[in-house]
A and B are shown apart, each in its own frame.
Chain A
Amino acid sequence: MIRFEKRESTSTSLKILIPTVSIILGILIGAVAILLKGINPIKVYQALLIGAYSSKYTFSETLVAATPLILISAGLIVVFKMNFWNIGAYGQYIMGAIFSSYFAIFWSPHIPKVIMLTVMVIAGMVGGALWAIIPALLKAYWEVNEVISTLLLNYIALFVLKFLMYGTWRDPLSHGFPLSKPFPNNAQLPRIIPHTRVNLGLIFGIIAVFVVWYLLKKTKFGYEIRVIGENPNAARYAGMNVAKNIIIAMIISGALAGLAGMVQVSGIIHLLQIKINPDYGYTAIIVAWLAYLDPIVASFFAVFLGGLASGAYQIQITMQVPFGIVGVIESAILFVLIGSEIFMRYRLVFDVGKKKHSGQEETL
């Protein structure tokens, strides 16, 4: 017999146990899915591990996938802390990519690289932030539910991207494919590990993690966010400006998602296209929650989930397992994680000899 008992307080060991269990269960559910395809899951996972971590190159690809996750989850943590459910990193990422690509596509390739990249970084952040301000304002002044507004804006962002790619931003030399002209060298983020695709974006990510950590732990803004997230009544009572904080937090969150979009087009793809992997915006939600909203811990989970993605590219080729399997594993992890929220508040009680006890009770 298993039952729940209310916990006296949430222990740290649980904060380790639950993500671990979530990941293991996610992997098991993935295994079932692979089995259904008639493939040996152990072999697949082996290949996946090799594909993600075995060599310097494969690990570098893991870091490449982790970079946007680190950036986005750092921003999401800020808004999640105040119970604002931004699931619009997807759209903010796309907007960041579009805004920064404008300069790569339409500005002269002879502008000094430092200037060009600085402008693109700022543009990416502005693009993401603008897209994030919309739901923040809607929430702050008209109480529009942010889950719905951010989700809808994701679709709109994708349409804007498609509109541009099939329209004026398409490269005339692309034979009709929805691709922009390739970014000139001055618009490409420099690589930081030779012969790999790991670029300056990773450094941006590390900086972002520490900035967010500092913001949350040390500043008045971080304090206010905590109070607002935990008890908005107390925040108003103390005279905090809840609307202002929602807007600032969303600007930060959107800017980092936008920067991730910029890093992807400028550091990896080197052009703008329809497929720029905005799904990182959803995966980053899982990263943030696995880490219980701790930005430093989150960066490690970003590497883990990044490895899952990059490893999956390998197995897709070598073992004919569809890339979608990563989606299955990720969603299973998220599902278990949300389900186990209940474990944070209740203790699981395994009762041995329960039968006897209840039998005895009948006589009462």
Chain B
Amino acid sequence: MAEYILQARNITKKFPGVLANDHINFDLKKGEIHTILGENGAGKSTLMNILDGIYYPNEGEIYINGKKANIRSPFDSMRYGIGMIHQHFMLVDTLTVLENVILGLKDQSFFINKKQIADKIIEISDKYKFDLKPFAKIWQLSVGEQQRVEIVKMLFRGADILILDEPTAVLTPQESEALFEILKKMKSEGKSIIFISHKLNEVMEISDRITVLRKGKVIGTVNKEETNPVELAKMMVGREVLFRLQRKPLERGEEVLKVENVEAYNDRGIKVLNKIGFTVHKGEIFGLAGVAGNGQKELAQVITGLRKATSGKVFLLGKDITNQHPLVIANSGTNYIPPDRLKVGLIPNLSSIDNAILRRYRKNPIGSGILVNYKKAREYTESLIEKFNIMVPRIDAPVKLLSGGNMQKLLLAREISENPALLIAVHPTRGLDIGATEFIRKKLLEVRDSGMAVLLISEDLDEILMISDRIGVIYEGRITGIMDAKDADVHKIGLLMAGSTEEESATVH
């Protein structure tokens, strides 16, 4: 019995219209890394939220160290040594690292000894080589650093059972590697870890055991040694998944996007685009690879008019659109899938309908005169939901209730359906399960075949290599190399991403 630090028995959770967890049994061994695998909406986050005390199950029990535990709030789970990093971080942007760590601590004495807490944060952070500054504000940190704050927060509270809900979805491959080192170290110290990811190669790398969920039910638990990605995918989806995509030969047409010597600054006033230039043509997917934070986000914002270029020009179909209003640019045929769906792309508290029509409410037939035709809006939303196979609890439920992957599908569906000349997709498959990823990539290839120009910005090299026609590498705000996908290989791109120029990487090669 003592082998298991946590056991969940017959956990059932119903939401209006959805059975998110259906009599789930799940065991976590002490000192193991246990991955939960499942499609979008399979109920992974729900189960984790139950363990963390955010939701209370309709049925079922949780045992910690063999004793029944009554977990009804995150305070309770904290007392049982459970800590969780949520799929969408729960840090307060305007507060410091330290303030976020102590926020919500229950037994906080009235006077807070900041020095002592800061020391402890530094101690934890040093132990795992985090390099966190307790008094830095959250908004100044990169996503990877924010995640480390979340980890410190858990460890600070003495968590022995760590739950990480899709931690790598927002990380670069390098950051993911670093995270795995941290997880392994924590495991060697006897901590037990529940890990969620859609990336099967990661799952195969880090897990000891894997539990697969499908539609709220446990399909099975397997040892890592005794399985392989193909089998896992089959358990998850219930059918064979093709890891290979069919693609038609390239029919490269006229120039759609031309970026010329563009320079721009980020929110902190640092120059992040450095005379960047490239073109994207009709009917091709141009993949832009690079380590996060090398100007990708700002580049997308400059093209879509959400950020000012301080010099240089952007042309769309030969027309100068530099620093035009976002609406003008959108109307001239650009659509944009932003990297941060909850902060920019979607309106979490509004319904699927309100979210689906964000690009359409001005245009006929959904917009008519000064009015929005909500009947047409509903029909349109229903058609998107059907075409893109989106799971929603109810069409007028707020989109924050959708599972992460389904939010992303809705966002994609909305942007692709505008049928623009240029589609800018930043991390389009982030957080999607393999089925949905396959689906989205197919869609991107489909719109490419139909003549759309696609600018794909991603940190996922596999994705870039899989669907791009040409690949550019961005480093410190400039293009360090552009190549045809057929001449590209991971090694060469990796070197360019690290900052060596094309000639250098050619000689190394």
> What residues of chain A have their CB less than 8 Å away from a CB belonging to chain B?
3-6, 8-9, 218-223, 226-227, 230-231, 233-234, 236-240, 349, 351, 357, 360-361, 364
Contacts and interface: CB of A to CB of B under 8 A. Distances in A.
B458 to A, nearest CB: 20
The 4 A-B residue pairs with the shortest CB-CB distance, nearest first, are A239-B327, A239-B326, A231-B347, A230-B347
A3 B372 contact: no
B347 A218 contact: no
Given A219-B372, A220-B371, A231-B348, A364 B64 contact: yes
Contacts of B509: none
Contact of B15 (A8, A357, A364): A8
B87 interface: no
Band of interface residues on B: 35 or more
A237 B326 contact: yes
Contacts of A360: 67
6 contacts: A219-B371, A220-B362, A231-B343, A236-B326, A239-B326, A361-B79
B325 interface: yes
A220 B354 contact: no
B372 A230 contact: no
B370 A4 contact: no
A226 B56 CA distance: 31
Contacts of B338: 237
B414 to A, nearest CB: 10
Nearest to A363: B67
B372 A239 contact: no
Given A9-B401, A227-B354, A218 B330 contact: no
Nearest to A227: B347
B440 interface: no
Nearest to A235: B347
Interface stretch (B34-42, B69-77, B218-226): B69-77
Given A4-B73, A351-B72, A361-B79, A230 B348 contact: yes
Given A218-B372, A239-B330, A364-B80, 13 more contacts: A3-B72, A6-B55, A220-B372, A222-B372, A223-B354, A227-B347, A231-B343, A231-B346, A234-B358, A236-B326, A239-B305, A239-B328, A360-B67
B54 A220 contact: no
A5 B347 contact: no
A231 B73 CA distance: 28
A233 B354 contact: no
Interface in B320-379: 325-328, 330, 336, 338, 343-350, 354, 357-359, 361-362, 367, 370-372, 374
A150 to B, nearest CB: 24
A288 B75 CA distance: 35
A242 to B, nearest CB: 12
Contact of B358 (A9, A222, A227): A227
B306 interface: yes
A218 B374 contact: yes
Contact of B350 (A226, A239, A357): A226
B65 interface: yes
Contacts of A234: 344-347, 358
Given A219-B372, A233-B344, A226 B54 contact: no
Nearest to B70: A357
Interface in B86-120: none
A279 to B, nearest CB: 32
Given A218-B371, A223-B372, A237 B345 contact: yes
Interface in B22-47: none
Contacts of A231: 343, 346-349
B144 interface: no
A145 to B, nearest CB: 16
A9 B345 contact: no
B494 interface: no
B350 A230 contact: yes
A226 B65 contact: no
A360 B336 CA distance: 55
Interface in B120-134: none
A5 B344 contact: no
- Name, among A8, A218, A349, the residue most crowded by chain B CB atoms within 10 Å (CB to CB): A8
A220 B358 CA distance: 11
B336 to A, nearest CB: 8
A220 B362 CA distance: 7
Contacts of B350: 226-227, 230
A220 B360 CA distance: 11
B277 interface: no
B398 interface: yes
B50 to A, nearest CB: 11
Contacts of A357: 70
A218 B377 CA distance: 11
B398 to A, nearest CB: 7
A226 B355 CA distance: 11
Contacts of B358: 227, 234, 238
A220 to B, nearest CB: 6
Contacts of B75: 3
B367 A364 contact: no
Nearest to B351: A226
Given A4-B73, A239-B325, A364 B371 contact: no
Which of A8, A226, A237, A240 has its CB near the most chain B CB atoms (within 10 A)?
A237
Contact of A236 (B54, B56, B306, B354): B306
A118 B460 CA distance: 66
Contacts of B354: 223, 226-227
Contacts of B56: 5
A348 B498 CA distance: 52
B466 to A, nearest CB: 28
A238 to B, nearest CB: 5
Nearest to A346: B73
B69 to A, nearest CB: 9
Contacts of B79: 361
Contacts of B53: 5
Contacts of B372: 218-220, 222-223
A220 B349 contact: no
B95 to A, nearest CB: 19
* Most B Cβ at <10 Å: residue of A9, A351, A360: A9
Contacts of A236: 306, 326
B72 A219 contact: no
Contact of A9 (B359, B371, B398): B398
A78 to B, nearest CB: 15
A346 to B, nearest CB: 9
